[in-house]
Structure 1
Amino acid sequence: MTMAEPRGLGKITSKRWGGLIIGLATALVATGACGGTSGTDGDLIASMKQAGCATVALAEAPPFSTITTDGKAGGYVPAVTQEVLAKLGVPGLCVKPATYDAMIPGLQAGTFDALPGGLNITPERCAAIAFSQPVTAQHEALAVPKGNTHRITDYAGLARNPELRLAVFSGSSQEAFAKKSGVRQSQLVTVPDSQTGISAVKSGRADAFGAGQFTLRRVADDSMEVIVDTSSPVSMIGIGFRKRDTAARDAFDAQLEQMRKSGALGALYAKFGFPNPEEIKDISRSSVSQACA
């Protein structure tokens, strides 16, 4: 049995098919119809200006990032990003929801222009993308039911009891730290957002929810306790860019440094409820790894 030829096209040779496909692909890229980002011409800032916004990936992880009911960006990191990009002439952010494990592949594939969704700066991520200078400083933490019947004190404690289960964002730094602390893959329950993580603990699907200390202090209610794991390294969040967009990242950093020196960054940090604005004055991505410099 042979496949029916496309109606109205008649007989088309494989050579002509190849020419048509290449031509169609070229037209789609030129018009942006493939769903890619605005940064396809090598000048990300100029193309974001032309597009009228930066296309960004966000997850629901307050107070770092949120998505409002009308689909707009909320939270501290998008607020910093919007303020910096406004100084560079980019009017705003166009939001696409994404899980943490999908953000970097989506950025590399051209689905997003930048990642202000609360990604911690890590050596592994620095090998894949270019981070801005950090805009937060915090430790990893755990949310457990009030009373803490399992006497959980840190991530290593979870590793010592293989019966315990830990909810984490898929692809998050907390997932990586848990594994480094000895938590088995079979103990992990991956969740897409903070509320699902909290619900997993409340419903008994997990015994603890791992996230940054400030995320948990925002989302945990009176029925839960937040335990800060001071053995964890200080985590720092930066805004992610493609490696080829380091010129845009550097321009972003220059404006960010002005905000840091003027005190505007610290004021915005405090406005969103972070109690340690002094800690973000002198932090640098190079302190994570030279791969991040």
Structure 2
Amino acid sequence: MRISVSSKRVALLLAAAVTVVSTGVTVARAESTDDKVLHDGEITIGIHNQVPWGYRNADGTVAGVGPDMIRAVLGPLGVKKVDFVIVDFDALIPSLLSRRIDAVASGLAITPPRCKQVIFSNPDLAIGDAILVKKGNPLNIHSYADVAKNPAIRMAGGRGSSDVEHAISAGIPKDRILLLKDVESSVGALLAGRIDADTESSSTVINVLKDPNVGAKLERAVPFTGLVVNGQQVANYAAIAFRPDDAKLRDTYNEGLAKIKADGTVKKIFAKYGFSDSEIAPSDVTAKKICGDDFR
């Protein structure tokens, strides 16, 4: 009888021990990126090496709107080591989801399709679409509608970019849009006569034309009307992207973002890269509002 009771007790103790061990393993595996970032003070950020979004200088330092925003928000929280990984633009989200990086800070716009894949911070920048054309705008392109109605116009854009999504939504057939991996490729194609126009964000076009060699041959099509929804041109609202299971880190970032917007830090960062106050995303434009039912 005593042997039986002891056996039961041993079995119960073993079961309890297994439960404790299992619980410990579960907790360790469930540790969020937020816990790791704030505890270890380290984070890995994806950028696509493009001015002004996120890029590496010749001396190896990293600059850009995204990197500066990450440092300004997370620095005061004790995140002192930020590793930047250069990734092709269309590979940024796959790299995030595969856990190669912890977040994307490289001018990624909040769009409904992306809201289904990742979660976004509230936006910092509000940027419209723009078109690069040859000097003199020989095909008189002033809207996506102009491109859509003229089958002779060949256009390029960044693979996976929101500008291309807008162009397609505005009625430009997919088979008339050449998808390229970066701005340099698109500019090269335009200069070589392989395309007639290149769709980019207005900020990217402004920066491209700062190069005197490019500015002598290309120009920004002005005025320009992009995608119009409910009577209003659609703007790209740039934000930081996180994995869906890192909502706590996203929320922590949003709290810091609100603080640096209020104290003028965001204004200074944007001015450093040529952006005006009008391009600071309004506080009432949130990721939740843009993502709608897909917000998490």
TM-score using structure 1 length: 0.80
Secondary structure class of the residue paired with 2:254: helix
**Structure 2 partner of 1:254:** 255
Q: Distance in 1 between matches of 2:145 and 2:279?
A: 29
Q: Distance in 1 between matches of 2:29 and 2:96?
A: 12
Q: Distance in 2 between matches of 1:40 and 1:153?
A: 53
Q: Displacement, 1:46? A: 3.5
Which residues of structure 2 form unaligned runs of 5+?
1-27, 210-214
Instruction: Render the CA deviation track for 1:48-85: whole Å, top value 9, x for unaligned.
Output: 35666322221133212222235543211221012112
Secondary structure class of the residue paired with 1:239: strand
Contact 1:216/1:226 (<8 A) preserved = yes
Q: Distance in 1 between matches of 2:178 and 2:167?
A: 12
**Structure 2 partner of 1:23:** none
* 2:225 aligned partner, one-letter code: D
Q: Distance in 1 between matches of 2:280 and 2:253?
A: 20
Contact 2:118/2:244 (<8 A) preserved = yes
Q: Distance in 2 between matches of 1:278 and 1:152?
A: 24
Please show how residues 200-279 of structure 1 align to structure 2 within 5 Å: 200-220=189-209, 221-227=215-221, 228-230=224-226, 231=228, 232-277=233-278, 279=280
Q: Whose strand fraction is larger, Structure 1's or Structure 2's?
A: 2
In structure 2, relative to structure 1, the CA distance for the partners of 1:117 and 1:266 (3 Å cut) is same
Secondary structure class of the residue paired with 1:118: strand
Q: Displacement, 1:197? A: 1.7
In structure 2, relative to structure 1, the CA distance for the partners of 1:68 and 1:186 (3 Å cut) is same
Secondary structure class of the residue paired with 1:238: strand
**Structure 1, 81-90 or 249-258: larger mean CA deviation:** 81-90
Q: Displacement, 1:242? A: 0.4
**Structure 1 partner of 2:112:** 123
Instruction: Render the CA deviation track for 1:115-155: whole Å, top value 9, x for unaligned.
Output: 00111001111121110010101111111111010111112
Q: Distance in 2 between matches of 1:88 and 1:279?
A: 23
**Structure 2 partner of 1:197:** 186
* 1:158 aligned partner, one-letter code: V
**Structure 2 partner of 1:12:** none
Instruction: Render the CA deviation track for 1:220-244: whole Å, top value 9, x for unaligned.
Output: 2242221343544011000000010
**Structure 2 partner of 1:182:** 171
- Which of 53, 57, 80 is 1:68 aligned to? 57
* 2:80 aligned partner, one-letter code: P
Instruction: Render the CA deviation track for 1:84-113: whole Å, top value 9, x for unaligned.
Output: 121222124322222222111211111110
* 1:162 aligned partner, one-letter code: P
**Structure 1, 152-161 or 249-258: larger mean CA deviation:** 152-161
**Structure 2 partner of 1:31:** none
Contact 1:260/1:281 (<8 A) preserved = no
Secondary structure class of the residue paired with 1:147: coil
Question: What percent of counterpart residues are identical?
Answer: 27
Secondary structure class of the residue paired with 1:280: coil
In structure 2, relative to structure 1, the CA distance for the partners of 1:107 and 1:145 (3 Å cut) is same
Which residues of structure 1 form unaligned runs of 5+?
1-38
* 1:224 aligned partner, one-letter code: L
Q: Distance in 2 between matches of 1:217 and 1:169?
A: 16
Q: Distance in 2 between matches of 1:210 and 1:285?
A: 24
**Structure 1 partner of 2:122:** 133
Q: Distance in 2 between matches of 1:260 and 1:124?
A: 27
Q: Does 1:95 align with 2:97?
A: no
Q: Distance in 2 between matches of 1:199 and 1:43?
A: 43
**Structure 1, 253-262 or 151-160: larger mean CA deviation:** 151-160
Contact 1:144/1:201 (<8 A) preserved = yes
Q: How much is the aligned-residue C-alpha RMSD, in angstroms?
A: 2.3
In structure 2, relative to structure 1, the CA distance for the partners of 1:281 and 1:270 (3 Å cut) is farther
